[in-house]
Amino acid sequence: MNITLYSFLYVLRLNEGNSTGRNIDERKKMQGENFTIWSIFFLEGFSQYPGLEVVLFVFSIVMYLTTLLGNSTLILITILDSHLKTPMYLFLGNLSFMDICYTSASVPTLLVNLLSSQKTIIFSGCAVQMYLSLAMGSTECVLLAVMAYDRYVAICNPLRYSIIMNRCVCARMATVSWVTGCLTALLETSFALQIPLCGNLIDHFTCEILAVLKLACTSSLLMNTIMLVVSILLLPISMLLVCISYIFILSTILRISSAEGRNKAFSTCGAHLTVVILYYGAALSMYLKPSSSNAQKIDKIISLLYGVLTPMLNPIIYSLRNKEVKDAVKKLLGKIPLHQTQEHL
């Protein structure tokens, strides 16, 4: 899909240069600005704080390697361990794969630029980076809502859980998450890259869509509308679905008479709820906050935490709070017998 996107964007930009070249002077007159079709972009990143770049490099590479190791391990154990062939771990495997793709789309560029005096990225690389970041982030929004519904059925309707959340239903829900995220990202990226830009210095360490749109010669009502609609659909609405699911979950847990049963239910849901709070908190603060003079500096800090720290914490949170995952890792390392079984929720 990325190759298709690359080809689409290349042809789109080439056609734009050929078919609209005769209209550039007219556009300039209408907009009163000078612009061109940029083939390369400069990423300002954290160049204003040169003394901080080495520290950020060490921080970022440690977080990135930990992210790759932790999420790869989770994917591996969900494939190899027969006890984890449940909907919850199917969705968790998808989440781990998204985190690997999301960080790999931006962190390698960040690491190179932190140690380089020439912080550049070509147009096609910027387009792919923007698309992958949006696609993985949007998909995760939908997937977290799906995971909340899975926990709701498991705790509030346990006797029918295997019927409601059967393999076919789970596969469809995961597919819908991916398709929704990829299509909305393609829509946003396609429109964003057609907007004429009056500069090529991006005040960010990646081709983040909001930072790129700040270079637009004029404000695009259509682009702003698309961004607003997609943000509302993927952030507040999906977060509302998560909250509704957990309201029902909490009311059910409080009615459980057994203290052991309550603790097990809280442990099962605690990991997912922690990830939800971290993810939606960062996303909402970036995409649905009022603009201010210091917004871009804050956005870069939030993006760093959102893009590096959160994906690293996901497998750690699930491992520390979930006995099944910890036992599966021990099995993988050969620390406990393979025939040992465990009770599932």
Provide the sign of the torsion angle of the four alpha carbons 254, 259, 264, 266, taken in this order. Answer: positive
Burial of 28 (0-12, 13-18, 19+ CB in 10 A): middle
- Note the pLDDT of residue 296: 64
Amino acid identity, residue 13?
R
List of E strands, the chain: 40-43, 120-122, 201-202
- Give 202's strand partners: 43
- Lowest mean pLDDT, pick from 23-37, 47-61, 179-193: 23-37
- Type of residue found at 60: S
Closest alpha carbon to 212 in 3, 9, 25, 43 = 43
DSSP readout, 122-153?
A: EHHHHHHHHHHHHHHHHHHHHHHHHHHHHHHH
**Most confident range, picked from 54-58, 78-82, 170-174, 320-324:** 170-174
- CB-CB contact of 5 with 123 (8 Å): no
pLDDT confidence of residue 320: 64
Collapsing DSSP to helix, strand or coil, 120 comes out as: strand
Average pLDDT, the chain: 79
pLDDT value at 8 more than 50? no
pLDDT: which is higher, 239 or 261 = 239
Where are the chain's structural domains?
Answer: 40-323
Does residue 216 have a pLDDT over 60?
yes
Helix H or strand E segment including 247: helix 236-254
**Region 250-269: what's the mean pLDDT?**
77
Q: What whole-number percentage of the chain has pLDDT above 90?
A: 21
CATH dotted code for 40-323 = 1.20.1070.10
Give me Rg for the CA atoms of the chain.
22
Other C-beta atoms closer than 10 Å to the C-beta of 33 total 15
Mean per-residue pLDDT, 2-10: 40
Structure tokens at 265: 């239910």
pLDDT band at 211 (very low <50, low <70, confident <90, very high): confident
Instruction: Residue 192: name the closest of 234, 141, 133 by CA.
Output: 133
Residue 335: the pLDDT is 58
How do beta strands 40-43 and 201-202 pair?
parallel
Q: Looking at the predicted structure, is the pLDDT value of residue 4 above 90?
A: no
Q: Detail the DSSP E strand segments found in 17-172.
A: 40-43, 120-122
Higher confidence at residue 221 or residue 13?
Answer: 221
- Evaluate if residue 192 carries a pLDDT over 70: yes
Residues 6+ positions from 311 with CB-CB distance below 8 Å: 67, 71, 99, 100, 102, 103
What share of the chain has pLDDT > 70, as a percent?
Answer: 81
Helix (H, G, I), strand (E, B) or coil at 276: helix
pLDDT in tens, 42-75: 888 777 777 788 888 898 899 999 999 989 988 9
For the four alpha carbons of 229, 234, 235 and 241, in that order, the dihedral sign comes to positive
165 is written with which tokens?
């959340």
Instruction: Tell me how far apart the alpha carbons of residues 148 and 170 are, in angstroms, rounded to a whole number.
Output: 13
> Does position 162 have pLDDT exceeding 80, yes or no?
yes
Question: How many Å apart are CA 143 and CA 93, to the nearest integer?
Answer: 11
Which structure tokens are listed for 274?
Answer: 């922690």
What pLDDT is attached to residue 81? 80
Helix 259-287 × helix 310-321 angle, to 10°: 180
Least confident of 206-215, 249-258, 273-282: 273-282
pLDDT tops 70 at residue 269: yes
Is-contact 233 138, C-beta < 8 A?
no
Per residue in 253-289, is it b (16+ CB within 10 Å) or e — as a string? beeeeeeeeeebbeebbbbbbbbbebbbebbeebbee
Q: What does the DSSP 8-state code read for residue 306?
A: I
Where is pLDDT greater, at 23 or 334? Answer: 334
